[in-house]
Amino acid sequence: MRLRSLAVAGVAVVTVAALSAPFCRSYTRSAALIVRMAGLQGPVAGALAWEREPVAAHDTQVPSRHGALRARLYVPDRYRRAIVLVAGVNALGIDEPRLYGLAHELAGVGYAVLTPELPDLQRYDVTPRTTDMIEDAAVWLSNQPRLARDGRVGLVGISFAGGLSIVAAGRPALRDRAAFVLSFGGHANFQRVLRFLCSGMEPAPPDAGHGTAGPGQRHRRPHDYGVVIVLLGGADRVVPPDQVEPLRAAILTFLRASHYDLIDRRKAAETFAEARRIAGGLPEPARTFMQQVNNRDVEGLGQTFLPLIDQASHAPALSPDKSPAPACPVYILHGADDNVIPAVESLWLGRHLEGRTRTRTLLSRIITHAELNSDQDKREIWQLVDFFASLLRR
Protein backbone atom coordinates (compact mmCIF):
# COMPACT_ATOMS: atom_id res chain seq x y z
CA MET A 1 0.00 0.00 0.00
CA ARG A 2 1.53 3.35 -1.03
CA LEU A 3 1.34 6.63 0.84
CA ARG A 4 -0.08 8.39 -2.20
CA SER A 5 -3.06 6.04 -2.16
CA LEU A 6 -3.71 6.59 1.52
CA ALA A 7 -3.41 10.32 0.99
CA VAL A 8 -6.42 10.11 -1.30
CA ALA A 9 -8.30 8.21 1.39
CA GLY A 10 -7.27 10.94 3.83
CA VAL A 11 -8.85 13.58 1.60
CA ALA A 12 -12.07 11.55 1.61
CA VAL A 13 -12.01 11.43 5.40
CA VAL A 14 -11.70 15.22 5.57
CA THR A 15 -14.69 15.50 3.23
CA VAL A 16 -16.77 13.32 5.52
CA ALA A 17 -15.85 15.65 8.40
CA ALA A 18 -18.04 18.30 6.88
CA LEU A 19 -21.05 16.05 7.35
CA SER A 20 -20.88 15.23 11.04
CA ALA A 21 -18.08 15.44 13.57
CA PRO A 22 -19.14 12.37 15.65
CA PHE A 23 -19.70 10.33 12.51
CA CYS A 24 -16.36 11.45 11.13
CA ARG A 25 -14.50 10.36 14.25
CA SER A 26 -15.12 6.74 13.32
CA TYR A 27 -13.45 7.39 9.97
CA THR A 28 -10.39 9.12 11.37
CA ARG A 29 -9.95 6.29 13.86
CA SER A 30 -10.42 3.74 11.10
CA ALA A 31 -7.89 5.46 8.84
CA ALA A 32 -5.41 5.69 11.72
CA LEU A 33 -5.87 2.01 12.47
CA ILE A 34 -5.23 0.98 8.87
CA VAL A 35 -2.21 3.27 8.50
CA ARG A 36 -0.62 1.78 11.60
CA MET A 37 -1.57 -1.82 10.79
CA ALA A 38 0.23 -1.34 7.47
CA GLY A 39 3.26 0.14 9.25
CA LEU A 40 3.19 3.31 7.16
CA GLN A 41 5.19 6.41 7.92
CA GLY A 42 5.11 9.89 6.43
CA PRO A 43 2.59 12.73 6.19
CA VAL A 44 -0.57 10.64 6.41
CA ALA A 45 0.64 8.82 9.51
CA GLY A 46 1.68 12.16 11.00
CA ALA A 47 -1.69 13.74 10.30
CA LEU A 48 -3.47 10.89 12.09
CA ALA A 49 -1.06 10.60 15.01
CA TRP A 50 -3.53 12.36 17.32
CA GLU A 51 -5.86 9.36 16.95
CA ARG A 52 -3.90 7.24 19.41
CA GLU A 53 -4.80 6.71 23.03
CA PRO A 54 -2.04 5.85 25.52
CA VAL A 55 -2.27 2.11 26.26
CA ALA A 56 -1.30 0.13 29.36
CA ALA A 57 -0.87 -3.64 28.96
CA HIS A 58 -0.66 -6.27 31.67
CA ASP A 59 -0.95 -10.04 31.95
CA THR A 60 -3.83 -11.67 33.76
CA GLN A 61 -5.73 -14.95 33.97
CA VAL A 62 -9.20 -15.71 32.70
CA PRO A 63 -11.26 -18.59 34.10
CA SER A 64 -12.70 -21.17 31.71
CA ARG A 65 -14.41 -24.54 32.02
CA HIS A 66 -11.17 -26.12 30.70
CA GLY A 67 -8.88 -24.41 33.20
CA ALA A 68 -7.46 -20.94 33.69
CA LEU A 69 -6.24 -19.18 30.54
CA ARG A 70 -3.24 -16.93 30.43
CA ALA A 71 -4.35 -13.61 28.94
CA ARG A 72 -3.25 -10.04 28.31
CA LEU A 73 -5.29 -6.87 28.74
CA TYR A 74 -4.62 -3.71 26.74
CA VAL A 75 -6.43 -0.78 28.33
CA PRO A 76 -6.32 2.72 26.76
CA ASP A 77 -6.92 5.90 28.73
CA ARG A 78 -10.31 6.29 27.04
CA TYR A 79 -12.36 3.57 25.43
CA ARG A 80 -15.90 2.93 24.26
CA ARG A 81 -16.02 -0.85 24.26
CA ALA A 82 -14.15 -3.94 25.42
CA ILE A 83 -13.35 -6.72 22.93
CA VAL A 84 -11.93 -10.23 22.95
CA LEU A 85 -9.25 -10.60 20.25
CA VAL A 86 -8.27 -14.16 19.26
CA ALA A 87 -5.59 -15.16 16.76
CA GLY A 88 -5.57 -18.32 14.66
CA VAL A 89 -3.14 -21.22 14.90
CA ASN A 90 0.33 -20.13 16.02
CA ALA A 91 2.82 -21.44 18.54
CA LEU A 92 3.57 -18.10 20.18
CA GLY A 93 0.04 -17.48 21.44
CA ILE A 94 -0.51 -14.02 22.91
CA ASP A 95 3.20 -13.23 22.50
CA GLU A 96 2.99 -13.43 18.70
CA PRO A 97 4.36 -10.05 17.52
CA ARG A 98 1.61 -9.36 14.97
CA LEU A 99 -1.16 -10.15 17.46
CA TYR A 100 0.58 -8.02 20.09
CA GLY A 101 0.83 -5.16 17.60
CA LEU A 102 -2.79 -5.46 16.44
CA ALA A 103 -4.03 -5.47 20.04
CA HIS A 104 -2.06 -2.29 20.73
CA GLU A 105 -3.45 -0.60 17.64
CA LEU A 106 -7.04 -1.56 18.42
CA ALA A 107 -6.58 -0.26 21.96
CA GLY A 108 -5.08 2.91 20.54
CA VAL A 109 -8.32 3.71 18.68
CA GLY A 110 -10.56 3.20 21.68
CA TYR A 111 -11.00 -0.46 22.59
CA ALA A 112 -10.10 -2.25 25.81
CA VAL A 113 -8.65 -5.46 24.36
CA LEU A 114 -8.39 -8.91 25.97
CA THR A 115 -6.24 -11.53 24.23
CA PRO A 116 -6.75 -14.96 25.82
CA GLU A 117 -4.21 -17.67 25.10
CA LEU A 118 -5.84 -20.76 23.59
CA PRO A 119 -3.59 -23.81 24.10
CA ASP A 120 -5.04 -26.00 21.35
CA LEU A 121 -4.52 -23.33 18.68
CA GLN A 122 -0.94 -23.00 19.97
CA ARG A 123 -0.57 -26.70 19.18
CA TYR A 124 -2.02 -26.13 15.68
CA ASP A 125 -5.20 -27.98 16.62
CA VAL A 126 -8.69 -26.56 15.91
CA THR A 127 -10.94 -28.10 18.58
CA PRO A 128 -14.48 -27.69 19.95
CA ARG A 129 -13.11 -26.79 23.35
CA THR A 130 -11.39 -23.77 21.80
CA THR A 131 -14.84 -22.38 21.04
CA ASP A 132 -15.75 -22.98 24.70
CA MET A 133 -12.70 -20.99 25.78
CA ILE A 134 -13.57 -18.07 23.51
CA GLU A 135 -17.10 -18.08 24.93
CA ASP A 136 -15.82 -18.22 28.52
CA ALA A 137 -13.34 -15.38 27.95
CA ALA A 138 -16.07 -13.17 26.46
CA VAL A 139 -18.46 -13.93 29.33
CA TRP A 140 -15.72 -13.10 31.85
CA LEU A 141 -14.94 -9.82 30.11
CA SER A 142 -18.62 -8.87 29.94
CA ASN A 143 -18.77 -9.28 33.73
CA GLN A 144 -16.01 -6.72 34.34
CA PRO A 145 -17.93 -3.45 34.89
CA ARG A 146 -14.81 -1.31 34.62
CA LEU A 147 -14.16 -2.65 31.12
CA ALA A 148 -17.59 -3.64 29.76
CA ARG A 149 -19.64 -0.74 31.03
CA ASP A 150 -22.88 -1.85 29.39
CA GLY A 151 -22.25 -5.55 29.99
CA ARG A 152 -21.59 -6.21 26.30
CA VAL A 153 -18.33 -6.99 24.46
CA GLY A 154 -17.12 -7.38 20.90
CA LEU A 155 -15.42 -10.50 19.57
CA VAL A 156 -12.69 -10.37 16.92
CA GLY A 157 -11.37 -13.66 15.56
CA ILE A 158 -8.57 -14.10 13.03
CA SER A 159 -8.28 -17.05 10.62
CA PHE A 160 -9.92 -20.18 12.08
CA ALA A 161 -10.66 -18.22 15.26
CA GLY A 162 -12.97 -16.04 13.16
CA GLY A 163 -15.43 -18.87 12.56
CA LEU A 164 -15.08 -20.14 16.13
CA SER A 165 -15.83 -16.65 17.49
CA ILE A 166 -19.07 -16.52 15.51
CA VAL A 167 -20.09 -19.89 16.94
CA ALA A 168 -19.28 -18.67 20.47
CA ALA A 169 -21.26 -15.45 20.00
CA GLY A 170 -24.34 -17.45 18.98
CA ARG A 171 -24.46 -19.42 22.20
CA PRO A 172 -27.05 -18.58 24.89
CA ALA A 173 -24.46 -17.26 27.37
CA LEU A 174 -23.39 -14.55 24.91
CA ARG A 175 -26.63 -13.90 23.06
CA ASP A 176 -27.31 -10.67 25.00
CA ARG A 177 -23.67 -9.91 25.80
CA ALA A 178 -22.08 -9.78 22.33
CA ALA A 179 -22.08 -6.30 20.78
CA PHE A 180 -20.60 -7.49 17.47
CA VAL A 181 -18.38 -10.19 15.97
CA LEU A 182 -15.64 -9.65 13.38
CA SER A 183 -14.44 -12.69 11.43
CA PHE A 184 -11.12 -11.75 9.79
CA GLY A 185 -10.17 -14.41 7.24
CA GLY A 186 -12.47 -16.97 8.89
CA HIS A 187 -14.54 -19.92 7.72
CA ALA A 188 -18.15 -21.05 7.47
CA ASN A 189 -17.58 -24.81 7.34
CA PHE A 190 -14.49 -26.44 8.87
CA GLN A 191 -14.56 -29.65 6.84
CA ARG A 192 -15.01 -27.76 3.59
CA VAL A 193 -11.80 -25.84 4.31
CA LEU A 194 -9.96 -29.09 5.04
CA ARG A 195 -11.12 -30.44 1.67
CA PHE A 196 -9.77 -27.34 -0.05
CA LEU A 197 -6.42 -27.65 1.72
CA CYS A 198 -6.10 -31.28 0.61
CA SER A 199 -7.53 -31.04 -2.90
CA GLY A 200 -7.10 -27.45 -4.03
CA MET A 201 -10.73 -27.48 -5.18
CA GLU A 202 -12.35 -24.23 -4.13
CA PRO A 203 -16.15 -24.41 -3.91
CA ALA A 204 -18.36 -22.28 -6.08
CA PRO A 205 -19.69 -19.09 -4.51
CA PRO A 206 -23.30 -19.22 -3.27
CA ASP A 207 -24.60 -17.05 -6.09
CA ALA A 208 -23.31 -19.56 -8.67
CA GLY A 209 -26.21 -21.84 -7.81
CA HIS A 210 -24.11 -24.99 -7.75
CA GLY A 211 -23.51 -25.45 -4.02
CA THR A 212 -20.07 -26.73 -3.06
CA ALA A 213 -19.59 -29.35 -5.78
CA GLY A 214 -19.80 -29.66 -9.50
CA PRO A 215 -19.83 -26.74 -11.96
CA GLY A 216 -18.55 -23.48 -10.58
CA GLN A 217 -15.64 -24.96 -8.64
CA ARG A 218 -12.13 -23.88 -9.48
CA HIS A 219 -8.74 -25.38 -8.74
CA ARG A 220 -6.03 -23.30 -7.08
CA ARG A 221 -2.98 -24.33 -5.16
CA PRO A 222 -3.59 -24.06 -1.41
CA HIS A 223 -0.92 -22.77 0.93
CA ASP A 224 1.29 -25.64 2.12
CA TYR A 225 0.91 -24.48 5.73
CA GLY A 226 -2.66 -25.73 5.87
CA VAL A 227 -2.13 -29.29 4.67
CA VAL A 228 0.88 -29.63 6.98
CA ILE A 229 -1.45 -28.83 9.90
CA VAL A 230 -3.80 -31.53 8.59
CA LEU A 231 -0.88 -34.00 8.65
CA LEU A 232 -0.01 -32.94 12.19
CA GLY A 233 -3.50 -33.78 13.40
CA GLY A 234 -3.79 -36.98 11.36
CA ALA A 235 -0.32 -38.45 11.82
CA ASP A 236 -1.71 -41.30 13.91
CA ARG A 237 -3.75 -42.44 10.88
CA VAL A 238 -0.86 -42.80 8.44
CA VAL A 239 2.18 -44.01 10.41
CA PRO A 240 2.72 -46.77 13.01
CA PRO A 241 2.13 -45.77 16.66
CA ASP A 242 5.85 -45.58 17.51
CA GLN A 243 6.39 -43.04 14.68
CA VAL A 244 3.54 -40.65 15.54
CA GLU A 245 5.25 -38.44 18.10
CA PRO A 246 8.63 -38.23 16.28
CA LEU A 247 6.79 -37.23 13.10
CA ARG A 248 4.72 -34.63 14.94
CA ALA A 249 7.85 -33.19 16.55
CA ALA A 250 9.42 -32.82 13.10
CA ILE A 251 6.26 -31.19 11.72
CA LEU A 252 6.18 -28.71 14.60
CA THR A 253 9.77 -27.76 13.76
CA PHE A 254 8.71 -27.00 10.18
CA LEU A 255 5.69 -25.00 11.37
CA ARG A 256 7.87 -22.94 13.73
CA ALA A 257 10.17 -22.22 10.80
CA SER A 258 7.17 -21.12 8.69
CA HIS A 259 6.17 -18.72 11.44
CA TYR A 260 9.69 -17.36 11.85
CA ASP A 261 9.72 -16.73 8.09
CA LEU A 262 7.27 -13.89 8.74
CA ILE A 263 9.34 -12.18 11.45
CA ASP A 264 12.97 -13.43 11.37
CA ARG A 265 14.34 -14.82 8.10
CA ARG A 266 17.69 -15.92 9.58
CA LYS A 267 16.03 -17.93 12.34
CA ALA A 268 13.59 -19.34 9.79
CA ALA A 269 16.43 -20.65 7.59
CA GLU A 270 18.09 -22.31 10.58
CA THR A 271 14.83 -23.95 11.67
CA PHE A 272 13.95 -25.17 8.16
CA ALA A 273 17.43 -26.76 8.02
CA GLU A 274 16.73 -28.45 11.35
CA ALA A 275 13.44 -29.83 9.98
CA ARG A 276 15.31 -31.34 7.03
CA ARG A 277 17.91 -32.86 9.37
CA ILE A 278 15.21 -34.44 11.53
CA ALA A 279 13.46 -35.87 8.46
CA GLY A 280 16.61 -37.76 7.49
CA GLY A 281 16.63 -39.60 10.79
CA LEU A 282 13.01 -40.76 10.72
CA PRO A 283 12.05 -44.35 9.79
CA GLU A 284 9.70 -45.05 6.91
CA PRO A 285 6.94 -44.11 6.22
CA ALA A 286 7.35 -41.08 8.53
CA ARG A 287 10.49 -40.02 6.60
CA THR A 288 8.58 -39.82 3.31
CA PHE A 289 5.80 -37.76 4.86
CA MET A 290 8.29 -35.37 6.41
CA GLN A 291 10.19 -35.06 3.13
CA GLN A 292 6.89 -34.10 1.48
CA VAL A 293 6.46 -31.44 4.18
CA ASN A 294 9.95 -30.04 3.64
CA ASN A 295 9.47 -30.09 -0.15
CA ARG A 296 6.07 -28.36 0.21
CA ASP A 297 4.48 -31.21 -1.71
CA VAL A 298 0.88 -30.08 -1.22
CA GLU A 299 -0.48 -32.45 -3.85
CA GLY A 300 1.22 -35.54 -2.41
CA LEU A 301 0.11 -34.84 1.14
CA GLY A 302 -3.35 -33.87 -0.01
CA GLN A 303 -3.88 -37.13 -1.88
CA THR A 304 -3.05 -39.03 1.30
CA PHE A 305 -5.42 -37.13 3.53
CA LEU A 306 -8.34 -36.29 1.26
CA PRO A 307 -9.98 -39.72 1.79
CA LEU A 308 -9.73 -39.16 5.57
CA ILE A 309 -11.42 -35.75 5.65
CA ASP A 310 -14.88 -37.17 6.23
CA GLN A 311 -13.53 -38.73 9.43
CA ALA A 312 -12.62 -35.29 10.78
CA SER A 313 -14.79 -33.74 13.45
CA HIS A 314 -18.29 -32.72 12.40
CA ALA A 315 -18.82 -30.91 15.72
CA PRO A 316 -21.12 -27.87 15.34
CA ALA A 317 -18.68 -26.01 17.61
CA LEU A 318 -16.22 -25.89 14.68
CA SER A 319 -18.52 -24.57 11.93
CA PRO A 320 -20.71 -21.45 12.01
CA ASP A 321 -22.99 -22.90 9.34
CA LYS A 322 -23.89 -25.74 11.72
CA SER A 323 -24.50 -23.49 14.72
CA PRO A 324 -27.09 -20.90 15.83
CA ALA A 325 -26.43 -17.44 14.45
CA PRO A 326 -25.44 -14.62 16.81
CA ALA A 327 -28.07 -12.00 17.61
CA CYS A 328 -25.51 -9.21 17.24
CA PRO A 329 -24.17 -7.73 13.97
CA VAL A 330 -21.51 -9.86 12.25
CA TYR A 331 -18.70 -8.25 10.25
CA ILE A 332 -16.97 -10.51 7.72
CA LEU A 333 -13.60 -9.44 6.29
CA HIS A 334 -11.50 -11.60 3.98
CA GLY A 335 -8.54 -11.33 1.64
CA ALA A 336 -9.87 -11.78 -1.89
CA ASP A 337 -7.01 -14.11 -2.91
CA ASP A 338 -6.58 -16.01 0.38
CA ASN A 339 -5.10 -19.48 -0.25
CA VAL A 340 -5.30 -20.72 3.36
CA ILE A 341 -9.02 -20.23 3.98
CA PRO A 342 -10.50 -19.23 0.62
CA ALA A 343 -12.56 -16.05 0.46
CA VAL A 344 -15.58 -17.99 -0.81
CA GLU A 345 -15.93 -19.24 2.79
CA SER A 346 -16.87 -15.71 3.83
CA LEU A 347 -19.44 -15.54 1.04
CA TRP A 348 -20.98 -18.79 2.27
CA LEU A 349 -20.85 -17.45 5.83
CA GLY A 350 -22.73 -14.33 4.77
CA ARG A 351 -25.31 -16.47 2.96
CA HIS A 352 -25.80 -18.66 6.04
CA LEU A 353 -26.34 -15.62 8.29
CA GLU A 354 -28.62 -13.85 5.81
CA GLY A 355 -31.99 -13.22 7.42
CA ARG A 356 -30.73 -14.41 10.80
CA THR A 357 -28.74 -11.34 11.84
CA ARG A 358 -27.25 -8.18 10.38
CA THR A 359 -24.07 -8.75 8.41
CA ARG A 360 -21.53 -6.78 6.44
CA THR A 361 -19.05 -8.57 4.18
CA LEU A 362 -15.95 -7.20 2.47
CA LEU A 363 -13.53 -9.14 0.30
CA SER A 364 -10.44 -7.00 -0.12
CA ARG A 365 -7.41 -7.26 -2.39
CA ILE A 366 -5.45 -5.27 0.21
CA ILE A 367 -5.50 -8.28 2.54
CA THR A 368 -3.65 -11.60 2.18
CA HIS A 369 -4.78 -14.24 4.71
CA ALA A 370 -5.06 -12.05 7.79
CA GLU A 371 -2.91 -8.98 7.33
CA LEU A 372 -2.58 -5.90 5.14
CA ASN A 373 -0.60 -6.48 1.99
CA SER A 374 0.10 -4.36 -1.05
CA ASP A 375 -0.60 -1.22 -3.04
CA GLN A 376 -4.15 -0.91 -4.32
CA ASP A 377 -6.29 1.85 -5.73
CA LYS A 378 -8.09 4.41 -3.60
CA ARG A 379 -11.42 2.62 -3.94
CA GLU A 380 -10.05 -0.53 -2.24
CA ILE A 381 -8.57 1.57 0.55
CA TRP A 382 -11.75 3.56 1.04
CA GLN A 383 -13.82 0.36 1.27
CA LEU A 384 -11.56 -0.88 4.05
CA VAL A 385 -11.70 2.46 5.89
CA ASP A 386 -15.50 2.51 5.60
CA PHE A 387 -15.75 -1.11 6.82
CA PHE A 388 -13.73 -0.46 9.97
CA ALA A 389 -15.47 2.87 10.57
CA SER A 390 -18.81 1.04 10.70
CA LEU A 391 -17.32 -1.46 13.15
CA LEU A 392 -15.88 1.28 15.35
CA ARG A 393 -19.35 2.80 15.77
CA ARG A 394 -20.60 -0.35 17.50
* CATH number of the 55-193+319-357 domain: 3.40.50.1820
Higher pLDDT, 6 or 22: 22
Look at the alpha carbons of 281, 284, 290, 296 in this order and tell me if their dihedral is positive or negative. positive
Look at the alpha carbons of 229, 102, 100, 372 in this order and tell me if their dihedral is positive or negative. positive
Full DSSP string of 17-83: HTT-HHHHHHHHHHHHHHHHHTT--SHHHHHTTTS---EEEEEEEE--TTS-EEEEEEEESS-SEEE
- The model's pLDDT over 19-57, given as tens digits with 9 standing for 90+, comes to 455 577 888 888 888 878 777 667 666 767 777 889 999
Higher pLDDT, 136 or 50: 136
Rounded Cα–Cα distance for residues 6 and 178 (Å): 32
Q: What is the mean pLDDT of residues 64-68?
A: 97
Q: What is the mean pLDDT of residues 345-373?
A: 88
- The model's pLDDT over 288-307, given as tens digits with 9 standing for 90+, comes to 999 999 999 999 999 998 88
Residue 10 pLDDT > 60: no
Return the pLDDT at 1.
Answer: 42
Residue 281 pLDDT > 50: yes
Q: Any idea where the domains of the chain sit in the sequence?
A: 1-52+372-394, 55-193+319-357, 223-311
Rounded Cα–Cα distance for residues 251 and 56 (Å): 37
- The model's pLDDT over 319-336, given as tens digits with 9 standing for 90+, comes to 999 999 999 999 999 999
HSE-CB of 127 using CA atoms within 13 angstroms:
14
Across all residues in the chain, what is the average pLDDT?
88
- The model's pLDDT over 69-83, given as tens digits with 9 standing for 90+, comes to 999 999 999 999 999
Express as a percent the part of the chain with pLDDT over 90: 66
Rounded Cα–Cα distance for residues 139 and 143 (Å): 6
- Please give the single-letter amino acid code of residue 240: P
Rounded Cα–Cα distance for residues 229 and 50 (Å): 42
